[in-house]
Structure 1
Amino acid sequence: MADDKPDIAWRVVGGLVGLVTAWAARKLLGFAWVKATGKEPPIDPDSPEVSMGEAIGYAVVMGVGMSVAQIVVNRTAKKRYDSWRALKRTVTPES
């Protein structure tokens, strides 16, 4: 009988993958922002010193970029994890 609940190992792996992905995506998107605009990303987009266009642009880039990164990495990691679990089951069948 298939269990729809993710196992504890995937919860741990998925959480770690999420943290690393968020950190790496933020660094990569910040680097891309500097290359595209020539300015550092706004630290506080709510600050009156940051223009409305820059704040909205940064929010869109970060929101879309982070979401896409999470989707791609989570799907890839889950696919590989499931593949590894299936391989493990065929090598060492459970009693």
Structure 2
Amino acid sequence: MAKKSKKAKGDSSKTWSIFSTVAALGAARVAATGLSTGWKAATGKQPPKNPADPDVELREAVAWAVVSGTFIGLARMLASRRAANYYLKSTGELPPPLRKD
């Protein structure tokens, strides 16, 4: 019986890893699309493709890095929290990395 519980824990951990990764990547993609649209509306220009490019004005590069990093990070965190909540409702327990000993 002990082998089954170890396998179930391993399967549960793999399922959570895949589920949380897909949720975070999806949220980051949606956030990036929204950010590009918002940047264009606010500045009238496309967001910098590579802020490290010397042709990009330093002020613009820093602003893009701050805005995009903040919003994409928040979107990923919120998606991971929603995924954990869904996992909890589906299985009755928290995902393996979030369980307290």
Report runs of 4+ in structure 1 exceeding 4 Å deviation: none
1:78 aligns with 2:71: no
1:66 aligns with 2:72: yes
CA deviation map 1:21-70 (0-9, x unaligned): 12111111111111111100001111222111000000000110111111
Equivalent residue number for residue 39 of structure 2: 33
Aligned-residue CA RMSD in angstroms?
Answer: 1.9
Normalised by the length of structure 1, the TM-score is 0.79
Equivalent residues in 2 for 1:3-18, closer than 5 Å: 7-18=13-24
Residue in structure 2 matching 1:56, options 59, 62, 78 = 62
Contact 2:24 2:80 in 1 (8 A): yes
Partner amino acid, structure 1, of 2:44: G
- Give the Cα–Cα distance (whole angstroms) in 1 for the partners of residues 38 and 24 of structure 2: 21
- Give the Cα–Cα distance (whole angstroms) in 2 for the partners of residues 8 and 24 of structure 1: 24
Q: How many residues align?
A: 84
Q: Which has the higher helix share?
A: 2
